[in-house]
């Protein structure tokens, strides 16, 4: 729980998942629990697509040493479960050997049994700019490293795409920037793009909202007033802002022939 990548916009800051993202701890018995659970599900023939990486990244630096994600993937393989991994890290390349085997033998749930790949990998980006990323995602591998990893994994035949989230108001949401981002994702073989708005919670010093406002004040003071206005009394940008930005991106994706759903 928690996440060493420590992105400034991370919604788990101050939440039940972690007081501070980089103050993380390891669930050392995770693979035992996964083993028990999947053994039971497989016995009952309950099939599912399993998801890794929703409120933490499965490929933080410490994973190099612990190999906890690798152990969990081996259990998925043993019980033939397909997997969807969301990550910001090229460390996932280390586990290509297991992912290949999962892709060969996993059993898909009945309602999506025609899906071509049993391994889906979504790389998460808030920007394609390495310099900006070093500021807002200080400990995560750079976008350029993620793009290389995405290319490699797509060439393996896995279903690979992008989560463009969060979209950061006044930082990465202009049309030229979005257009360039989609071009680059496509060039690196992303076959889909899903998107999400920035969400900022809480009002205490550890909360994602206050941390993000402080970050903007220190680094991009010229947009602070507008950002605060957008989040005044709410946790998401206004519905109008969200509708506008979604429409823009969906149009860009249509023009460039990139799907905006995973399947």
**Rounded to the nearest 10 degrees, what angle do helices 239-255 and 175-187 cross at?**
40
CB of 194 to ligand SF4, least distance (A): 15
CB of 136 to ligand SF4, least distance (A): 9
Q: Is the dihedral of CA 26, 204, 236, 162 positive or negative?
A: negative
Q: Which is nearer to ligand SF4, 125 or 231 (CB)?
A: 125
Q: Which residue has the CB atom at the shortest distance from ligand SF4?
A: 3
Q: Which is nearer to ligand SF4, 6 or 191 (CB)?
A: 6
Q: How far, in Å, CA of 83 to CA of 115, rounded?
A: 12
Q: What does the binding site for ligand SF4 look like in residue numbers (CB under 6 A)?
A: 3, 5-7, 10, 12, 21, 56-57, 88, 140
CB of 119 to ligand SF4, least distance (A): 20
**Rounded to the nearest 10 degrees, what angle do helices 68-78 and 30-43 cross at?**
10
What separation in angstroms does the CA of 201 have from each of 43, 152, 207, 223?
41, 36, 6, 19
CB of 198 to ligand SF4, least distance (A): 11
* Strand spans (E) along the chain: 50-52, 83-87, 119-125, 159-167, 193-197
CB of 40 to ligand SF4, least distance (A): 28
Q: Based on the number of CB atoms within 10 Å of its own CB, is 219 exposed (0-12), middle (13-18) or buried (19 or more)?
A: middle
Pair 156, 97: CB distance under 8 Å? no
Q: Which is nearer to ligand SF4, 8 or 102 (CB)?
A: 8
CB of 86 to ligand SF4, least distance (A): 8
What is the signed CA dihedral for 245, 248, 250, 256, rounded to 10 degrees? -140
Q: Which is nearer to ligand SF4, 18 or 181 (CB)?
A: 18
Q: Which is nearer to ligand SF4, 47 or 209 (CB)?
A: 209
CB of 87 to ligand SF4, least distance (A): 8
Q: Which is nearer to ligand SF4, 155 or 214 (CB)?
A: 214
Q: How far, in Å, CA of 183 to CA of 190, rounded?
A: 10
Pair 223, 198: CB distance under 8 Å? no
Q: Which is nearer to ligand SF4, 160 or 163 (CB)?
A: 163
């Amino acid at each position: 729980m928690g996440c060493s990548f420590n992105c400034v916009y991370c919604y788990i800051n101050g939440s039940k998942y972690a007081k501070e993202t980089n103050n993380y701890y390891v669930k050392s018995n995770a693979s035992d629990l996964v083993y028990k659970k999947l053994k039971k599900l497989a016995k009952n023939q309950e099939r599912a697509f399993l998801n890794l990486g929703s409120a933490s990244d499965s490929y933080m630096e410490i994973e190099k040493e612990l190999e906890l994600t690798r152990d969990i993937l081996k259990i998925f393989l043993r019980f033939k479960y397909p997997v969807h991994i969301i990550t910001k890290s090229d460390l996932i390349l280390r586990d290509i050997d297991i992912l290949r085997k999962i892709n060969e033998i996993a059993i898909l749930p009945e309602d999506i049994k025609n899906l071509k790949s049993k391994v889906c990998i979504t790389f998460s980006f808030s920007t394609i700019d390495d310099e900006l990323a070093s500021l807002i995602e200080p400990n995560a591998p750079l976008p350029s490293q993620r793009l290389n990893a995405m290319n490699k994994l797509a060439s393996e035949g896995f279903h690979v795409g992008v989560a463009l989230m969060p979209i950061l108001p006044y930082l990465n949401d202009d049309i030229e920037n979005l257009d360039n981002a989609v071009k680059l994702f496509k060039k690196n073989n992303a076959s889909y793009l899903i998107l999400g708005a920035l969400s900022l919670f809480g009002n205490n010093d550890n909360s994602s909202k206050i941390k993000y406002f402080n970050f903007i004040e220190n680094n991009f003071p010229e947009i602070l007033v507008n950002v605060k206005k957008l989040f005044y009394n709410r946790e998401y940008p206004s519905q109008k802002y969200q509708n506008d930005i979604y429409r823009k991106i969906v149009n860009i994706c249509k023009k460039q022939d990139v799907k905006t759903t995973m399947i």
